[in-house]
Structure 1
Amino acid sequence: MFFALIAFGFNYWPMIFVAMVSLVVYPELKMAEAGYVMLIVELLPAGLLGLMLASLMAAFMSTVDTHINFGASYMVNDIYRRFIKKSASEKHYVRASQISTVLMLTFAVAIAYNLDSVSDAWYYMSVLTAGYGIVVVIRWFWWRVNAWAEIAALAASGISSTLLSPKFGKMIGYWDSIPHLDWQYRFLIVVSLCTAFWTTVCFFTKPTSEDHLMKFCAKVKPFPTFWGPIYKKYPDIGWNPHFRRSVLHWTLGAATVYSFCFGVGNFLFSNIFSGSILVLAATLLGLIILVTWKK
């Protein structure tokens, strides 16, 4: 929770503040993301300008490198090596990773070329990952979730989010024939469709082996609430009995982070009274969590 307080309470507000300043200074901008760059160029002196550009390039390169490397690793180790070519030489797998890297970069460049703005990318990514989020959480709580359910969620999320993408719809030619949908409605549609799909897949495919589930529970120690068959057979492997307390702490933790985040924001915009109330509320909620943590 401390990380969340720092990340949301301090880390994001400078960026939000600068973005709002750019909207005030450049109210006529056609592309809102250009305001940040214009502020950098106009306000920073030569030395700091160079340092800022170097830091932005370093951040960009490190992010791209990371995604290229783990993307190639997933493609080769988790798919190609496991299901297609199981006993080739290491040199062969290195070559396969190089080819997968080129293919992923080509695909990424093609997508980036067809985006009109950075915000389009964020909106698409939020909808693209929407259908997978629930199954990633539920798998820790429900014994019936298996690998096929997660694969189904990934596939359904990718297909449905792409079909509901305005850019793709206009390119194919059907976007004008359906009602206009803002991204939040597309988000909800994708979540609903994917949840229904992966839940159905759960019941039409075999569950994970009992031995594997038992080892998982012995290591993770989940709540027994939705692990009925495994809990009945292995009641003594260290189940976590504090489901209600954990839900309470999660709720209090979320309220703490939100209160602190908006409290800091109110201070930045000179709303001292509102900021004080919110930060005080965050402090009290945090103390409640600390006091009740080990009870």
Structure 2
Amino acid sequence: MDIQTLDYFIIFGFFALVLFIGIYVSKKSGKNTSEFFLSGRNMPWWLLGFSMVATTFSTDTPNLVTDFVRKSGVSANWGWWAFLLTGLLTVFVYAKLWRRSEVLTDLEFYDLRYGGKPAHFLRGFRSIYLGLLFNILALSAVNLAAIKIGGIMLGLEPVETILMGGVITVIFSAIGGFKGVVYTDFILFFVAIAGAVGAAYYLINLPEVGGIEQMLTHENVKDKLSILPDFSDSSNVIAILIIPLAVQWWSSWYPGGEPGGGGYIAQRMLAAKNENHAIGATFFFNIMHYALRPWPWILVALASLVIYPDIASISEAFPNVPEDKLGHDLAYSAMLIKLPSGLLGIVLASLGAAYMSTISTHLNWGSSYLVNDFYKQQINKNASERELVNVGRLTTVILMVLSAIFALYLTNATQLFSIILEFGAGTGLVYILRWFWWRINAWSEISAMFTAAIVSFAFNFSSLGTYLFGDGAVDGIFPFWSRLPAIVLITSIFWLAATFLTQPESKEVLYDFYKKIRPGGPGWNKIMEQAKNDNVTLDVKKEKWSVPSGILAMLLGCVLIYSTMFATGYWIYGKTTSAIILTVVVIISGFLLVRVWNNIKGSVL
């Protein structure tokens, strides 16, 4: 492709600015672990909100969306749109709880909620399980997307792409810490959104595509437009819509969509100035992430069906792309080579921005687990702050190297998305209930985690999975869509059994947790009665339990954001009547949400 001087100026200017910010904040970021991983806990909501959105921009997300749209249509995106429910549950129920915990990482929560050796084991094991193994999977998906973009747009070999993008990002992440990540995310967001919107507008107006009206009526596109699946195909409706909305959102652990909050979302809530800033940041993130941002990617994916109707046409246009990297997700990068100079530079910079934002967040988040929850707890409890920061910088480099190597062996983004979903299937309910039910103990989480991993592995990588559910090429005993519910059911049975077959946490641990977090609700009634008998005062502030109002706010928020997303789509499609009706629904639900939220403020969740 023809990259001009202007494009190089935009790209290198952008990377220079990012490195400057990382170097500028490095001295303060290296002061201690609180600064390196949470920036001193004094971040405003808007800065954290932009950081969350920029982090989830990623280079693999448009590839994943393109893969969904080209294979199954716009409605296939319900596979990740359903996570809005858990996102808003985090906003209106869990954000305040996380901020009250005052932990450095969400894994430190285990020593607050549980006690003894099981809690100690759980914290250490999950620091490796999530901070290293799961994090490498997520990082690999981003690196895979970068490899495909580099191969299509710049003609780079996979190793060359990883070296160019990875070296700059790992240097920036290692020296700048969390403050550097958040500050640059603010800039990265605007670069990324400008690139995505600019690319979508230009590409749908290419002569080959013919503009929005002609594209929407094209033979390859018109049957891909529906935001909801075809209800005449019951199997498709169950797989695309019902399973995500009825099971997946609360049952599966997924980076950025953890039930009850967690991961890098929790990291940003913990870095907020106070509880209200934590709530504001997560709500802003969910609005931007689900309601508005997907449409530029969807439009490019639809336009790609006109120019590259199948994988064979992509292979013909790009014969140098290795066969193991070919897939529908490659179409997004294939479209971008048609951009003119200037806009091309902005888009390449935006893709670099998305890559750096996601990678740097995962590196800092994963490193926080490995340092605070493994090294400090399991290896050197007396380590100085300087030593911990240095270990954090070293683990940042190690995570990048391992994920880059793994990415070289992957094929497409959907492949990893499904694996990560199923390896966390069935664990989500534990993460939701552990705040509000005293009987949950460390063995509940340990059994859920191991059962989900073992069953998912058996169903994904053995003949048992093919025999029971098929593999897409052959039919199994049960429908293919039933695999996730089956994993959830088996995992739930095991963790519930483990909960009631093991001893509950000690009264002292539960009393201390309640005093600090003040969760409230009927799930703590027995502990409240025990405390009363022991002459221990737990409910100091005597405030009304507001989880019911929080759930109502969550439901209104879902109506608001889904209606905004649908309305945006229908305005684009030219379906004016539907768009107007949904816009009215947006206004009404927004008004009601404000009223409910005003009633929640200041209450105990």
Q: TM-score, normalised by structure 1?
A: 0.82
Please tell me whether residue 23 in structure 1 is matched to residue 305 in structure 2. yes
Matches of 1:263 and 1:87 in 2, distance apart? 56
Matches of 2:417 and 2:292 in 1, distance apart? 22
- What pairs up with 1:137-286 in 2 under 5 angstroms? 137-165=432-460, 168-169=461-462, 176-180=466-470, 184-232=481-529, 233=531, 234=537, 236-237=539-540, 238=542, 240-286=544-590
Q: Could you tell me which residue of structure 2 aligns to residue 135 of structure 1?
A: 430
**1:120 Cα shift?**
0.8
1:227 match: secondary structure: helix
Identity of aligned residues (%): 33
Q: Could you tell me which residue of structure 1 aligns to residue 172 of structure 2?
A: none
Contact 1:9 1:260 in 2 (8 A): yes
Q: Could you tell me which residue of structure 2 aligns to residue 123 of structure 1?
A: 418
**1:13 Cα shift?**
1.6
Matches of 2:394 and 2:441 in 1, distance apart? 30
Please tell me whether residue 35 in structure 1 is matched to residue 331 in structure 2. yes
CA RMSD of aligned residues (A): 3.1
Contact 2:310 2:328 in 1 (8 A): no
**1:123 Cα shift?**
1.7
Contact 2:515 2:539 in 1 (8 A): no
Number of aligned pairs? 289
User: Aligned partner of 2:363: which letter?
Assistant: I
User: Aligned partner of 1:257: which letter?
Assistant: I
Contact 1:217 1:239 in 2 (8 A): no
User: Aligned partner of 1:68: which letter?
Assistant: L
Q: TM-score, normalised by structure 2?
A: 0.43
Kindly tell me: are residues 115 and 186 of structure 1, through their superposed partners in 2, closer, same or farther at Cα, counting changes over 3 Å? Answer: farther
Matches of 1:107 and 1:160 in 2, distance apart? 26
Contact 2:458 2:464 in 1 (8 A): no
84-93 vs 234-243, which moves further: 84-93
264-273 vs 124-133, which moves further: 124-133
Matches of 2:510 and 2:423 in 1, distance apart? 29
1:33 match: secondary structure: helix
Deviation per residue, 1:101-121 (Å, 9 max, x gap): 676556535653443211111
User: Aligned partner of 1:38: which letter?
Assistant: A
Q: Could you tell me which residue of structure 1 aligns to residue 344 of structure 2?
A: 49
Deviation per residue, 1:164-223 (Å, 9 max, x gap): 22xx33xxx655444316774332222222222222232233333333333433343323
Which ranges in structure 2 are unaligned for 5 or more consecutive residues?
1-282, 313-326, 473-479, 532-536, 600-605
Q: Could you tell me which residue of structure 1 aligns to residue 289 of structure 2?
A: 7
2:358 match: secondary structure: helix
Q: Which has the higher contact order (CA 8 A, sep 6+)?
A: 2
